[in-house]
Structure 1
Amino acid sequence: MAISLSLSSSFPCLRIFSSASASSSLSFSSPPVGLTAPPLVTSSSTRLNPCLCSSSNSGPFSDSPNIRSQMTPMSCLGVSMEEKPRVKSEHKWQRVLLKVSGEALAGDHTENIDPKITMAIAREVASVTRLGIEVAIVVGGGNIFRGASWAGCSGLDRSSADYIGMLATVMNAIFLQATMESIGVPTRVQTAFRMSEVAEPYIRRRAVRHLEKGRVVIFAAGTGNPFFTTDTAAALRCAEINAEVVLKATNVDGVYDADPKRNPNARLLDTLSYHEVTSKDLSVMDMTAITLCQENNIPVVVFNLQKPGNIAKAIMGEKVGTLIGNVTRNELPRELKVKAEL
């Protein structure tokens, strides 16, 4: 048996073969006593690269420069690290959080969930995600069960009632997910507490990654804690995923200076400051949610969900409903300017 050690200048390898005559090869039947074989790898330029092995017609160790330039350690394992770049949005908002109340999902209240409402939401969200805008959604559960309203009934404590309300939001989220995926919108549902059979657990980095891949993420089960509303969950998730705005979809056109159901002369306000909402105790969002938005400088847009096109307009940053944020005196409504001057 003749053993030949051959090192290629480009791709070193060990070739073992039998030969009848080995006049030009190093032949031995057993290694000499006291001698050790020299190392095959002498420098960084002569390291063995297992990724160069292939079953192509050019041989196991091809010297083609094109093949060497295209081969990477991960491609040898069948894993591609390249992703298609997503189109960046040129609109006002790049990443938004849409808050959909349970009452809005009920529509005309003939059923707990109106399929026409969920389909309208899905279509308008689909139209803006194609533009590169990242959309996350927080759903309420008031159309099925509102914990604050049922607390105290038949001995039901507030904590248990709130947990039942969180389960109602999961039901709405799964229904909305099914509607969105029926028209080709990739969607993920993440819950504040584990329900592994129906949804993912909420993991911030995973949620952000879904958004970066163009998927719509629906957050369900509120914050996972009783005594906190889904409005607070919307403000919290918005701050966590670094969204730029909270879009609160309701059954009214925005924030009025009076109750429009009782006062027909009530006027719709275009802009409001956080201070005006808290000082006037306007029923826009609960105080915890609006304070959280104020501390993190998150604007809030309140608009009517039932008007066609409003969701897409709000997501793209067009003027719709009422904008709540850090506005200057020149941006205040006329009636608030007078009070500020006084």
Structure 2
Amino acid sequence: MAISTSVISLNTISYSRSSSHSYLSPPKPYVPSCTLPNSNSLRKLLITTSSSSEMGPTSDTLNFSRQPEMPSVSPFGLSMNELGKPSYKWRRVLLKVSGEALAGDQSQTIDPKITMAIAREVASVTRLGIEVALVVGGGNIFRGSSWAGSGGLDRSSADYIGMLATVMNAIFLQATMESIGIPTRVQTAFRMSEVAEPYIRRRAVRHLEKGRVVIFAAGTGNPFFTTDTAAALRCAEINAEVVLKATNVDGVYDDDPRSNPHARLLHTLTYQDVTSRDLSVMDMTAITLCQENNIPVVVFNINKAGNISKAIKGERVGTLIGADMEVHHSKNMKQT
């Protein structure tokens, strides 16, 4: 029977055991008192064992330079991703706030209570890891379509003045959000370098990835387009999953609730319903852009506490207009 021989190689120091003294342990290597061993000094421990001819020679290599990988499992049986990032319906959203909503009860141009309520609810969802971008209107200060033709003011000039009004609202919202610790960036469709960044799509996406709220101002930068169209456009550009339209009403009604007390709130709609019934939700350009890019739209009341955070999380609130509703509508038509 062959005598097994083990050779231990520790850097340049090696020890051999003879068959007559196989029961003895090899002497410990000398380590100077001024030097402490570390993981880098223990490169490799090679143990080679030669046994009987029936088993054949075997060799195993143990590498101490790599740390063992620990499974990322929480004490509750969930993975770290599942524990750290709860599942919400939307992960990146675009919130459209109309200028009229910022005015509150219309007693002043901008109601600080409204802007603070928006800031607090946006803060509550950004801490959950949801990325939020905003498009703000300017109707509380100046509406270009209403002033066109007054005093010789052409439509293009009136729309540019309205775009400047959206910048004023955006700066006000930014100041309110940053006062409670929300990092915020304002990006304008045309250059106003002293007060805001120019709109750059990749930069906007990077801000969102870093947890900052991005406020898009100045509409699309072109006259004859509304801020609703700007919201649909920016939503498609930054790959947001939904447009959340915050208004002063609970959602979309089948008639004007201000003139008809029996008007019925519609909880779900298709894009075709909006265009065929001429419902005043968004302008046709914005609705068509959302339809072509399969972007759902949620219309809800901004004045009810908690509605913004509910809408951003994907909870049922207001009226949902979207591609899913198209499929649901077609199934109902087949059944009837």
- Partner secondary structure for residue 154 of structure 1: helix
Shift of 1:89: 4.8
- Partner secondary structure for residue 224 of structure 1: coil
- Partner secondary structure for residue 189 of structure 1: strand
Which amino acid in the other structure matches residue 132 of structure 1? G
Q: What does residue 296 of structure 1 align with?
A: 293
Q: Which runs of 4+ in 1 moved over 6 A?
A: none
State whether structure 2 residue 234 is matched by structure 1 residue 237: yes
Compared with structure 1, are the counterparts of its residues 153 and 328 closer, same or farther at alpha carbon in structure 2 (3 Å cutoff)?
A: closer
Q: What does residue 320 of structure 1 align with?
A: 317
Q: What does residue 308 of structure 1 align with?
A: 305
What 5-or-longer segments of structure 1 have no aligned partner? 1-57, 70-84
Q: 2:335 and 2:88 mapped to 1: Cα distance?
A: 35
State whether structure 2 residue 248 is matched by structure 1 residue 251: yes
Q: Over residues 85-126 of structure 1, what are the superposed CA-to-partner deviations in whole Å (9 max), with x where a residue is unaligned? A: 9x5452100000000000000001111000000000000000
State whether structure 2 residue 204 is matched by structure 1 residue 207: yes
- Partner secondary structure for residue 247 of structure 1: strand
Q: What does residue 144 of structure 2 align with?
A: 147
Which amino acid in the other structure matches residue 171 of structure 1? M
Compared with structure 1, are the counterparts of its residues 218 and 328 closer, same or farther at alpha carbon in structure 2 (3 Å cutoff)?
A: closer
Q: 187, 212, 216: which is aligned to 2:213? A: 216
Q: State the Cα RMSD in Å.
A: 2.5
Compared with structure 1, are the counterparts of its residues 283 and 167 closer, same or farther at alpha carbon in structure 2 (3 Å cutoff)?
A: same
Q: 1:328 and 1:310 mapped to 2: Cα distance?
A: 21
Shift of 1:337: 5.8
Assess if the C-alpha contact under 8 Å between 2:271 and 2:326 holds in 1. no
TM-score (norm 2): 0.74
Q: What does residue 164 of structure 1 align with?
A: 161
What 5-or-longer segments of structure 2 have no aligned partner? 1-34, 42-64, 66-80
Q: 212, 222, 225: which is aligned to 2:222? A: 225
Q: Over residues 226-247 of structure 1, what are the superposed CA-to-partner deviations in whole Å (9 max), with x where a residue is unaligned? A: 0000000000000000000000
Q: What does residue 8 of structure 1 align with?
A: none
State whether structure 2 residue 111 is matched by structure 1 residue 114: yes
Q: 2:242 and 2:325 mapped to 1: Cα distance?
A: 18
Assess if the C-alpha contact under 8 Å between 2:270 and 2:326 holds in 1. no
Compared with structure 1, are the counterparts of its residues 330 and 265 closer, same or farther at alpha carbon in structure 2 (3 Å cutoff)?
A: farther
Q: 1:260 and 1:125 mapped to 2: Cα distance?
A: 28
Assess if the C-alpha contact under 8 Å between 1:271 and 1:331 holds in 2. no
Q: 125, 130, 134: which is aligned to 1:133? A: 130
Q: 1:312 and 1:211 mapped to 2: Cα distance?
A: 17
Q: 2:325 and 2:213 mapped to 1: Cα distance?
A: 34
Q: 1:321 and 1:128 mapped to 2: Cα distance?
A: 18
Q: 2:199 and 2:326 mapped to 1: Cα distance?
A: 40
Q: What does residue 48 of structure 1 align with?
A: none
Shift of 1:263: 1.3
Compared with structure 1, are the counterparts of its residues 297 and 182 closer, same or farther at alpha carbon in structure 2 (3 Å cutoff)?
A: same
State whether structure 2 residue 129 is matched by structure 1 residue 102: no
Q: 162, 181, 187: which is aligned to 1:184? A: 181
Q: Over residues 281-326 of structure 1, what are the superposed CA-to-partner deviations in whole Å (9 max), with x where a residue is unaligned? A: 1000000000000000000000000000000000000000000012
Assess if the C-alpha contact under 8 Å between 1:147 and 1:163 holds in 2. yes
Which amino acid in the other structure matches residue 148 of structure 2? A
Compared with structure 1, are the counterparts of its residues 263 and 331 closer, same or farther at alpha carbon in structure 2 (3 Å cutoff)?
A: farther
